[in-house]
C-alpha cells in the first residue's frame, strides 16, 4: 500500500480512472442532448475552450515557463509540459509542414478514452474533442489563434491518436480571451 | 520542473484542475438540461452510481484489500483508501450513531468543488452529488446497500463538507450474526 498511498496523497492529482469515467459521463450526456455527432464534437470543443482558458493560468504559474520564441517551441511545450502536467502523458510532436505552421500530437494512449468503445452509430464522433478545445483556448489566451482537430483516433481503429494543430495568426489584442 | 515532471509522469493520475473543470462542465450541462436542482442531484447520483460500480473493481485490484468485517471497517476503507486513491484526500470519519449503522465523511477541502461558487438560484443543488452515487454504487457492488447524502457543504457556507452514509442492508445472505 505504501507506494499507492504515496502517489495518491498528492493533493493536485486525482486518479485517471475517475477522470476517464467522469469524462465518459459528460460525453454520454451530450450525446443524449445533441444526438448528432457533429454537434457533440462542437460542444466538447467549446467546453474544452473554456477549460483551456482557465488551465493556462495554472500552467504558466506552475511551469514557470515564459513566452515561446516560435511555433516549434510552442509544440514542444504543449507536448512535454502541458500534456504531461495535466494528463500524465507526453505525445510525440511530428508531421511538421515545411512552412512550420502545422504539426501533429501523436499519442499511443489517451487517458480520456481508456476502455471506451465507440458505438457503431457514432462514427463521426470525436470522443476526445475536449482536448482540441483545451489547446485552442489555452493558446488563444496567450494570443495565438490555432485550428485544432483530430485526424486519427485509436477509437476509430487507427493505430495511434493524432491531433493536428495549425497556426492561424498572432492575436494583437492583449485582452484576456472571454468565454465562448 | 523536475518535481512537477516526476509527479505528472505517473500514468495513473491526472491533474486535479483538469478534473475539477471537467466535472464543472458536466454539472453545468446537467443544470442546462434539467433545470431543477433536485433533478440535477438525482442525475449526478445516478452517474456516480455507474462510476462507483466500475471503480470498485479497480479499487479492489489495486488496494489488495479483502472483505470488511464490519461497517466501521468499511468506513475507514472508504476514507483512508478509496478517497485517497481516487481523489487524493482523506476525509475524517465521524458522527457515528450509537447503533454503528451511520457515519459521516467530513472534508475540509473537496477537489470536485475547488473554486466553485454556487449561483444564488441553485441553493438546493448538491454540486458534488456524484460522490454520493460513487459510494452507493461501489458498496452495492460488494453487497452492501447504503443511503448516501450531503448534509453539509462548504459551497453552501458550511464550515466543512459532510457526507452522511447510512447502512441499509446486506444484499445477499452473507450477513454475519450481530452486524446489524
Distance CA B41, CA B125 (A): 6
Contacts of A63 in chain B (CB under 8 A): 1, 4
Q: What is the pLDDT of residue B115?
A: 86
Among all residues of chain A, which has the CA nearest to that of B1?
A63
Pairing state of beta strands B102-107 and B161-170?
Answer: antiparallel
Q: What domains can be seen in chain B, in order of their start residue?
A: 36-170 (3.30.1380.20)
Nearest CA in chain A to B54: A21
User: Closest chain B residue to A47 measured between Cα atoms?
Assistant: B25
pTM of the model: 0.89
A50 touches chain B (CB under 8 A): yes
pLDDT of residue A4: 36
The span from the CA of B163 to the CA of B134, in Å, is 12
Q: Is A157 on the interface with B (CB under 8 A)?
A: no
Please list every residue in chain A whose beta carbon sits closer than 8 Å to the beta carbon of residue B51: 18, 21-22, 25
**pLDDT means over runs of 10, chain B (180 residues):** 38 89 97 95 98 95 90 97 95 98 97 91 96 98 97 95 97 56
Query: Which residues of chain A are within 8 Å of residue B17 when distances are taken between CB atoms?
Result: 12, 54-55, 58, 86
Whether the CA torsion B172, B50, B106, B147 is positive or negative: it is: negative
**B26 in contact with chain A, both atoms CB, cutoff 8 A:** yes
Helix and strand numbers, DSSP H then E, in chain A: 6, 5
Ranges of beta strands (E only) in chain A are: 13-15, 92-94, 102-107, 144-152, 161-170
The question of ipTM being above 0.85 is answered as yes
What residue in B sits closest to A134 (Cα-Cα)? B18
Question: Cβ of A36 under 8 Å from any chain B Cβ?
Answer: no
Query: Could you tell me how many CB contacts below 8 A there are between chain A and chain B?
Result: 143
> Is residue A108 within 8 angstroms of chain B, CB to CB?
no
Q: Which residue does chain A place closest to B53, by CA atoms?
A: A21
Using the Cβ of A57 and the Cβ atoms of chain B, whether some distance falls under 8 Å is answered with: no
Interatomic CA distance for residues B50 and A22, integer angstroms: 10
Q: What distance separates the 2 farthest-apart alpha carbons in chain B?
A: 56
According to the model, what pLDDT value does residue A6 have?
36
pLDDT of residue B66: 87
- Which positions in chain B touch A50 (Cβ < 8 Å)? 21, 25
pLDDT at res. A11: 56
Q: Does B6 touch chain A (CB under 8 A)?
A: no
List, for chain A, all residue ranges whose pLDDT scores fall below the cut of 70. 1-11, 173-180
Q: Which of A5, A7, A16, A18 would you mutate first to test chain B, the one with the most B CBs within 10 A?
A: A18
Amino acid at each position: 500500500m505504501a507506494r499507492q498511498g504515496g502517489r495518491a496523497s498528492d493533493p493536485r492529482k486525482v486518479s485517471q480512472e475517475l477522470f476517464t469515467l467522469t469524462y465518459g459521463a459528460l460525453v454520454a450526456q451530450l450525446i443524449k442532448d445533441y444526438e448528432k455527432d457533429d454537434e457533440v464534437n462542437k460542444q466538447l470543443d467549446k467546453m474544452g475552450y473554456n477549460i483551456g482558458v482557465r488551465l493556462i493560468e495554472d500552467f504558466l504559474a506552475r511551469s514557470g515557463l515564459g513566452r515561446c520564441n516560435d511555433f516549434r517551441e510552442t509544440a514542444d511545450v504543449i507536448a512535454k509540459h502541458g500534456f504531461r502536467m495535466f494528463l500524465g502523458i507526453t505525445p510525440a510532436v511530428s508531421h511538421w509542414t515545411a512552412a512550420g505552421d502545422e504539426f501533429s500530437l501523436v499519442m499511443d494512449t489517451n487517458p480520456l478514452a481508456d476502455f471506451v468503445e465507440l458505438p457503431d452509430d457514432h462514427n463521426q464522433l470525436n470522443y476526445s474533442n475536449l482536448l482540441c478545445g483545451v489547446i485552442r483556448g489555452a493558446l488563444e489566451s496567450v494570443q495565438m489563434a490555432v485550428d485544432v482537430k483530430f485526424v486519427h483516433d485509436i477509437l476509430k481503429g487507427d493505430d495511434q491518436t493524432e491531433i493536428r494543430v495549425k497556426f492561424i495568426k498572432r492575436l494583437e489584442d492583449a485582452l484576456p480571451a472571454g468565454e465562448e
